[in-house]
Each structure stands twice: as structure tokens, then as C-alpha cells.
Amino acid sequence: MSKITWDDMSERFYETGTDHGVLYKWSGDEFIDGVAWNGLTGVDSDSEGYDITELYSGDVKRNILATNEVMSGALTAFTYPDEFEPMIGSVEAAPGLLVQNQRNRPRFGVCYRTLIGNGLSNQIGYKLHLIYNAYVKGVSTSRTTISDSTEAVEFSWDIGCIPLLSDDYDPYCAIVVDSRKFNDEFMKQLQDILYGTDDTLPRMPTLDELMDIFYATEPVPEEWNGYPYETLLPSQDLYPKSN
């Protein structure tokens, strides 16, 4: 045990940027055929549905009940891949002829990266953000005339998510992978899946697949019971520990 200290330059962490954007289409049971989203400028995330019910007994608050939380948010971009058109309600009736405001909007997945810095370096690692089962529920675009202070049009889409089910966790829509916490082999395998290789197409891995890669690549001590909380552990029958 050590005494608490403040203002260590190496622990002044911050997060910045939004790059390496990828759009994936939903095939019915997985998110596949990833394409680069070069014009992605921002991802705003929010949550909704986390409602608390307070339980009282004998005029004393005894406990709380919480409902499942669902992710929502917004995407902003200067441009977007053609594959995103159906997701925003645009259907190509003929080459270059788009009929907009269509209700049938496929679900999709998004992956992007943020950089991590500290007081000593502007990049000591990065986080990969995976958003699953998203859908566009609102489109916002503002266009103005060209002038001496012209700016590029920035598109914005409000999104919602339909949570994926898990045997070991509450329903989820998003996963964050922090490169500082994993070894190079795990990060390479993950990015080969997300970005594709010469022999494989880009796709989004499931949570179960991520855990399988983790247990296959990380040195796990025998006494290790999960990270970070034992109550959140996957079943050891599903994910046996490595020796």
C-alpha cells in the first residue's frame, strides 16, 4: 500500500480524436462487410432508460431497482460511404437517383478509435469503440450559400440501438477496448477482424469471441477470477482459464 499522490505527469490522462471509422452492415446475425468511413468527425453517446425505483421498508430506504440502460447518440460526418445510404432512408431507384425518407432502414455497426495521452506524451495508447445494432432515427443537415467564410456541410444523424443479449451481462450496445490493458497479440487479432486482412473481410466480433481471444492470448494467473470485478465474470464453464 502506498500513499496517495497527485499531479504525476504520467497519470494526467486524456482522450482525444475520432478516427479509423468503419461502417458494418447487418446480415441478420452478425455485422459484416466493413467499409472505411473517412469523413466521420464525431460520435456523441448518451444513455436512456436507466430508471431507478427506490424500495422502502419501515420508512427507511432499503434498496433500489434499476431498469436496463440503452445507448443512444449521434454521428456527425463531412461525408459518408455509399453503403450508409439505406441506413439513413435513401434508396437508389436508378444510378445516382436517390429516393429519401424511406422507413425501411437497416441496422448497422460502427467502429472508431480515440487516442489516449498523458502529461508526457500525446499518444500512449488508444481505445477502440464498437457500437452494435444501431439504427438512424433522425437526420439533420444544414446548407448555406458559398461566401468568404464558407464551411463544408456537416451531416448529423441521431441514432438509437437495440441491445444484444448476453448470458453473463446485461443487454449491451457498445464495447470499448483499451489498448493499454491488452498485449500486442490480442490487439492484432482484434484489428485483423475489425479491419480485415488480405484473406478475410472486415466484420465486428461478438462479445463471446472477444473473450475467447482474450483467454487464448493473455497470460492469466491461476488465481485470477476476472477483470475487474468478480461479479461480472463470464462463467468459467464457458471461458476456462488459461494456465
Alpha-carbon gap, residue 229 to 215, rounded angstroms: 16
H and E: helices and strands count for the chain: 2, 12
Q: What is the pLDDT of residue 38?
A: 93
- Cell matching residue 180: 493499454
DSSP per position, 160-224:
EE-PBP-SSS--BSEEEEEGGGS-HHHHHHHHHHHH--SSS---PPPHHHHHHHHHHHS---TT-
* Beta carbons of 176 and 128 less than 8 angstroms apart: yes
Q: What is the pLDDT of residue 88?
A: 92
| pLDDT averaged over every residue in the chain | 84
Q: Bridge partners of 52?
A: 66
For residue 68, give every residue at least 6 positions away whose Cβ sits within 8 Å of its Cβ, in sequence order, or none. 49, 50, 163, 170, 171
Domain residues of the chain, as ranges? 12-180
- Rounded to two decimals, the pTM is 0.82
Q: What is the pLDDT of residue 221?
A: 55
* Beta carbons of 204 and 111 less than 8 angstroms apart: yes
Q: What is the pLDDT of residue 131?
A: 96
Fold of 12-180: Pnp Oxidase; Chain A (2.30.110)
- Cell matching residue 51: 430508471
For residue 239, give every residue at least 6 positions away whose Cβ sits within 8 Å of its Cβ, in sequence order, or none. 211, 212, 215
Low-confidence stretches of the chain (pLDDT beneath 70): 1, 219-243
* Beta carbons of 56 and 101 less than 8 angstroms apart: no
Q: What is the pLDDT of residue 106?
A: 93
Instruction: List, for residues 54-94, the tens digit of each pLDDT value.
Output: 888 888 888 988 877 788 899 999 999 999 999 999 998 99
Q: What is the pLDDT of residue 238?
A: 37
Beta strand spans in 88-184 (E): 91-94, 97-99, 108-117, 125-140, 155-161, 174-178
Burial of 112 (0-12, 13-18, 19+ CB in 10 A): buried
